[in-house]
Amino acid sequence: RRPGAATLGRQRWRSDGRALQKLPVHMGLVVTEEEPSYADMASLVVWCMAVGISYVSVYDHNGIFKRNNSRLMDEILKQQQELLGLDCSKYTVEFANQDKADQVLNCQSTLKVLSPEDGKADIVKAAQNFCQLVAQQQRTYTDLDVNVLDNLLSSTNGFPDPDLVLKFGPVDSTLGFLPWHIRLTEIISLPSHLNISYEDFFSALHHYAACEQRWGK
C-alpha cells in the first residue's frame, strides 16, 4: 500500500506528476471526518510534495490539525524520511510560525494548515480593516472592489487559489474551507482519509487532469 523508499526512488514520484496532463498548483486537503489521522494526512502531504505540487493546504472544520500543528509536522518529517529518503541535514525544512500561517518549506513545496477562522472570519477582518481606513478618511467606500478585497485577505498569503480540493469523509460539504478562494476549485470527494492509498490519491489527481474548464465562456 505505501511503497517504501527502498523500492521507489524520488524519481518515480516526480515522473508520476509529469505524466499527468495537468497538476494542481495549490491542492487543498479537506477532512470532514470527526477524527483526523495525523499519519494519513502526513502521507497525503508528502505525496503532494513528491509529485511536484507547489502549494498544499490542510483543513478540518474543528481546527484540530491547526491546534496540533507540531504533531502533524513531526509526522510529515517522519514520512518525508521514510518515503522520500530525505536527509534533514541536506534540506532546509523550516517551521515558520508567521501570524496564523504555519509553513513547512521543503525544496519546492509550501504547506499551510487552515481552519474555519481562515475562511469567513478572515474576510470579516479584511472588511473591518478597510472600514477602519474609511473611518480615518484614508479610503472611500467606492475604492473597494473584488481585487482590493482579494488583496486584503491574509489567510492564504502568497498562495494562489486552490485548483483542486480533495475532500475526505462522508459529509457533502466544504464545511467552511476558504469560501472566497474556492470559486473555481474542482472538488473531488474520497470516502475517507484513513488508510488512504497512494493509488487512490493518484487516481484523484488523474481525474482532475481530465476535467475541462470553460471559465464562463
Q: Which of 176, 192, 200, 209 binds another protein (CB under 8 A)?
A: 176
Strands 55-60 and 110-114: parallel
Contacts of 196 (CB under 8 A, 6+ apart): 40, 43, 44, 168, 190
* Residue 142 engages another protein in binding (rule: CB under 8 A): yes
Residue 75 sits at the vertex; the CA angle it makes with 73 and 79, to the nearest 5 degrees, is 115
Give the total of residues touching another protein (CB under 8 A). Answer: 49
Residues paired with 56 in a beta bridge: 27, 111
- Angle, helix 10-19 to helix 38-51, in steps of 10 degrees: 70
The contact mask relative to another protein for 9-48 (x = CB under 8 A, - = no) is: -----------------------x----------------
Instruction: Identify whether the C-beta of residue 74 lies closer than 8 Å to the C-beta of residue 80.
Output: no
Q: Which of 172, 195, 203, 206 binds another protein (CB under 8 A)?
A: 172
Q: Which of 91, 97, 184, 195 binds another protein (CB under 8 A)?
A: 184
Stretch of residues binding another protein (CB under 8 A), selected from 21-29, 40-48, 182-190, 191-199 = 182-190
Instruction: Identify whether the C-beta of residue 119 lies closer than 8 Å to the C-beta of residue 178.
Output: yes
* Residue 123 engages another protein in binding (rule: CB under 8 A): yes
Nearer CB in complex with another protein: 74/143: 143
Instruction: Identify whether the C-beta of residue 25 lies closer than 8 Å to the C-beta of residue 55.
Output: yes
Stretch of residues binding another protein (CB under 8 A), selected from 44-52, 72-80, 106-114, 173-181 = 173-181
The C-alpha cell at 146 is: 473584488
Instruction: Identify whether the C-beta of residue 59 lies closer than 8 Å to the C-beta of residue 111.
Output: no
Q: How far is the CB of 1 from another protein (least distance, A)?
A: 26
* Residue 116 engages another protein in binding (rule: CB under 8 A): yes
Nearer CB in complex with another protein: 55/208: 208
CA 159 to chain centroid:
9
Residues paired with 186 in a beta bridge: 164
> Could you list the residues that contact another protein (CB under 8 A)?
32, 61-62, 116, 119-121, 123-124, 126-128, 130-132, 134-135, 139-142, 144-146, 148-150, 170-177, 179-180, 182-188, 211, 213, 215-217
